[in-house]
Amino acid sequence: MSVYLRYIFGLSTAAVSYLWASRLHKAMASLTPLQSVEKISTRVTRILGQNPGPFTLQGTNTYLVGHGAERILIDAGEQNNNAYISELKSVLANEKATISSIVVTHWHLDHVGGLKNVIDEVIGKPVPIYKIKRDHHNEGIDFNYVDDGFKVSVDGATLKFIATPGHTADHSSIWLEEDRALFSGDCILGEGTSVFECLRDYMISLKRILELEPTVIYPGHGPVVNEARKKVEEYIFHRSKRENDIVEFMTGAGRVTSMDIVNTVYSTTPPSVRLAARNNVVLHLDKLIKDGRVEQSGIEYALITPSKQ
C-alpha cells in the first residue's frame, strides 16, 4: 500500500470513528437504563461491565449462566475494571457459586480485556476459556479454540457455539438450548445497529440467526431483545435497503467511484462526514463484488450486466 493510500485510509478510519462517536454521544442520553446486576431469567444473570461509552452503550453485557454451584461466564468486560470485578464477586458470593469456564464471543477488548482479572482476582485458578479462533493472529491468551457447534454445559444450562462472523471474523453467538435463547455478542445489539468488518459474512450470519428462531436475544450491549425475530428482520432490512440504493444508482451509470455513490446515496449527509459514509459504501461494494454483481477496475466500480455473467 502506498504512503498516499495509507494516509487516505487513516483519514477514512478516523472519520468513521468520528461519525460513530458523534452519533452515539447524542444517543447516550436516550439509552434504556440498565441495572448493574439483573437476573434476567432463571438461568441467566447479566452483569454490566461498568464501562459505559459511545461504543459500549450502557456497558459491555457479561452473563453468568447456570443453576448450581458452577456457572459459565460469557465475556469478561474490559481490562482492570475494579467496579466490574467487585460486582462479579458479589454475585458469585450471593449465589454461592464459582465460574467453571468462560465463553468468549469475539476478540474485541471490551469482551476479552478483563479475562486475566477474572482469572486472577475472582476465580483464583485457570479455567477453560472457549473461543472460535481468530486466524493469523497471536491473541496472547491461552484460549481453548473451538469450532461451530461446540457445546459446554453446567447444571441447568447447555451452551452451543454458533459461528456468526461479520462483526469480526472470529465472532460467535451462543445458543442456550434449554430456553432457545441466543447470546448475540455484538452481532445484534439491544439498541441501535452494529458495525461489521465483512458485510457479506454479516448478512449470512443474520439470516442464520433468523433461521434459529430464538425466543429471546441477550445482546453484548443494550437491553434484552424480547421480540427477537422482529429485531433480526429489522437488521436485515436496514442493510438490504442500503445495498438496493447503491445498486439502483449504479444501474445505467457506467463506471463510478465510491465517492460518486456517496454523493448520491448519502446526499443528505453533511459533507464533513461523507468520508466516513464512504467506508460503508466500500463494504457494500466489497459484498457485491463477492456476490458477482459488481466488478472493480482501479478506483472505479461497475455493475456486471447479465451478458457478462
118-176: per-residue pLDDT in tens? 999 999 999 999 999 987 676 778 999 999 999 999 999 999 999 999 999 999 999 99
Instruction: Give residue 195's pLDDT band: very low, low, confident or very high (50, 70, 90).
Output: confident
**Backbone torsions φ then ψ of 5, nearest 5 degrees:** -65, -35
Positions of CATH 3.60.15.10 in the chain:
31-238
pLDDT digits (tens, 9 = 90+) for 99-127: 999 999 999 999 999 999 999 999 999 99
Distance CA 134, CA 104 (A): 12
Q: In the structure, what pLDDT confidence band is assigned to residue 18 with cuts at 50, 70 and 90?
A: low
Res. 27 pLDDT band, cuts 50 70 90: low
Cα–Cα distance measured from residue 157 to residue 15, given in angstroms and rounded to the nearest whole number: 43
Dig out the grid coordinates for 211 from the structure. 433461521
Pick the CATH number of 31-238 from 1.20.140.10, 3.40.50.170, 3.60.15.10, 3.40.190.10: 3.60.15.10
pLDDT of 55: 85
Lowest mean pLDDT among 19-23, 156-160, 237-241: 19-23
Mean pLDDT of the chain: 91
Q: Where in the chain is the domain with CATH 1.10.10.10?
A: 3-25+251-303
Using the predicted structure, report yes or no on whether residue 4 has a pLDDT greater than 80.
no
Summarize the confidence of residues 24-48 as an average pLDDT: 88
Residue 21: pLDDT band with limits 50, 70, 90: low
Pick the CATH number of 3-25+251-303 from 3.90.170.10, 1.10.10.10, 1.20.1090.10, 1.10.1040.10: 1.10.10.10
Q: How far is CA 172 from CA 67, 148, 181, 254, in A?
A: 23, 8, 14, 39
Alpha carbon distances (Å) from 79 to 71, 76, 221? 21, 9, 17
pTM to 2 decimals?
0.85
pLDDT of residue 82: 98
Give pLDDT tens digits for 54-83.
889 999 999 999 999 999 999 999 999 999
| Percentage of the residues of the chain whose pLDDT score is greater than 90 | 78
Which cell numbers hold the place of 118? 477474572
Cell numbers standing for residue 136: 493469523
CA proximity to 57, closest of 166, 193, 173, 216 = 193
